[in-house]
Amino acid sequence: MILSTRRYRFAAAHVLANPALPDDENRRIYGKCANPNGHGHDYGLEVTVTGTVDPVTGSIVPQELLDSIVRERVLDRLSHRMLNADPLFADRVPTAENIALAVRESLEKPLEDAAGVRLVNVRVVETPRNFFDHGEAP
Ligand code: NI
């Protein structure tokens, strides 16, 4: 199986707080990340797909096509936005874990339908010290 991974970046802001919890509980769980004014990250995003190598192009998916799907479905939507305001996070706190889930949900079907590839993993890199993978079950 050949895996193809492409890296992207987007800047976005969030507040880590669950509206269902009291303020002091949110501060206890999320620390200063619960500050209601929010804060930003320069997120790294890695999208890994697999598929058949096209005998004509020698590629699993044309890079232009992959880029256009990721741009349209994810980057244009989340870039320079307050993530908490996006319906993708209406029912979940926009942690990097949930960003990875939301990106996977946003890309899985379009990648299959428009590019004929299977999304294997979504990695969201939040800081130099933490990243999160939403991949297939082993
Ligand atoms: Ni943060």
Query: For domain 3-135, which architecture applies?
Result: 2-Layer Sandwich (3.30)
Ligand 1: centre distance to CA 131 (Å): 12
Ligand 1: centre distance to CA 35 (Å): 10
Q: The whole model's pTM is what?
A: 0.94
| pLDDT, tens only, 2-29 | 999 999 999 999 999 999 999 999 999 9
Ligand 1: centre distance to CA 63 (Å): 30
pLDDT score for 138 = 60
71, two tokens: 């741009």
In angstroms, rounded to a whole number, what is the distance separating the alpha carbons of residues 95 and 101?
Answer: 10
- The catalytic residue positions are 33, 80, 126
